[in-house]
Amino acid sequence: MTEPTPQRTAGPAYVAVDWGTSSFRLWLIGRDGSVLAERRSGEGMTTAARTGFAEVLTSHLAAISAPAGLPVLICGMAGAKQGWIEAGYLDTPAALADIPAAAVRIPGIDADIRILPGLAQRAAMAPDVMRGEETQLLGAAGELGNGDHLVCMPGTHSKWVRLSGGRVEGFSTFMTGELFDAIAKNTILSHAIAEAGAISGDNAAFRTAVARMVEKPALATSQLFSVRAGSLIAGLSPEDAKARLSGTLIGLEIAGALSLVAEGTPVALVVSGGLGALYREALAAAGLSPSLIDADAAVRNGLAAGARALWSL
């Protein structure tokens, strides 16, 4: 009886890195596109700027026994002014397919290490920038197909991107997460939400606040004060007060993003974790049924698309 031939594991082809402000993620990618090894740490740009970007990367490559000479493709804050080397920005409108060619190579070393650029919108009344999200967009594009799309990428500074036929026509950043933190800690609303726990997307107060803002965004500051008044005279619990605050701000964000596209434009949500669940419920409360794209998979797929374009892998 002939023994079956064992399948060979695909050898390493390149290293993909997502280097954020406070986080570091690295994947060793095989020739067949599989993830052969993975590393995660808190050695983001802030830490690496002190300890050395090359040193951080080298330590992680050594930890996974990556072969010498593998090309490395990086996205995120390592390409910022305060990063390893500035990778600059592509101006919108910009084709996603043009992103890899604008990658900047790290000078002065033998290894082929490149950092992808960000995107810049230079409109006089709506200047905006993104760095890292463009790679998620590149990876998500394969799932979205052609046509017009409105892509939401939640975060402390959420990005809403207007795509058309694989081109970024424009985008808007909403400081929703930072505003929530500032209002919750530094205004009279802090008393109403004291000791409240985590916000759940299925909270009725959250969903109602989202729907109200999508319908009447001009009432935002009045709705915010209702969090205080509700706790004083209407028996609004700290949990519901916090949910109303969050729903008001996220609903205002959704209303703003929808105002920039034609009615009926398909919405895609690039998400992971608890914040993703909250935005799924918020969009549902706004009457939307977005397509869902995993954020981790999107960034890996974007880096894979960049590596294929740069090194014909």
- pLDDT value, residue 274: 85
Q: Which domains does the chain have, with CATH numbers?
A: 12-144+302-311 (3.30.420.300), 174-294 (3.30.420.310)
- pLDDT value, residue 82: 95
Which tokens is 278 given? 């909250």
- pLDDT value, residue 54: 97
Token look-up 């949500």 returns 269
Backbone angles phi, psi at 212, to 5 degrees: -65, -40
In the chain, DSSP assigns E strands to: 12-19, 24-30, 35-41, 72-76, 89-91, 94-95, 104-105, 113-115, 118-121, 128-130, 148-153, 158-164, 167-174, 267-271, 291-294
- Position 251, amino acid: G
Per-residue pLDDT of the chain (313 residues; tens, 9 = 90+): 344 444 445 699 999 999 999 999 999 999 999 999 999 999 999 999 999 999 999 999 999 999 999 999 999 999 999 999 999 999 999 999 999 999 999 999 999 999 999 999 999 999 999 999 999 999 999 889 889 999 999 999 999 999 999 999 999 999 999 999 999 999 999 999 998 999 999 999 999 999 999 999 999 999 999 999 999 999 999 999 999 999 999 999 999 999 999 999 999 999 988 889 999 999 999 999 999 999 999 999 999 999 999 998 8
Which tokens is 201 given? 């997307």
Spatial neighbors of 50 by CB under 8 A, at least 6 apart, are: none
Q: What is the pTM of this model?
A: 0.92
Which tokens is 48 given? 């690496």
Task: Determine how many CB atoms are found less than 10 A away from the CB of residue 290.
Answer: 20
305 within 8 A of 139, measured Cβ to Cβ: yes
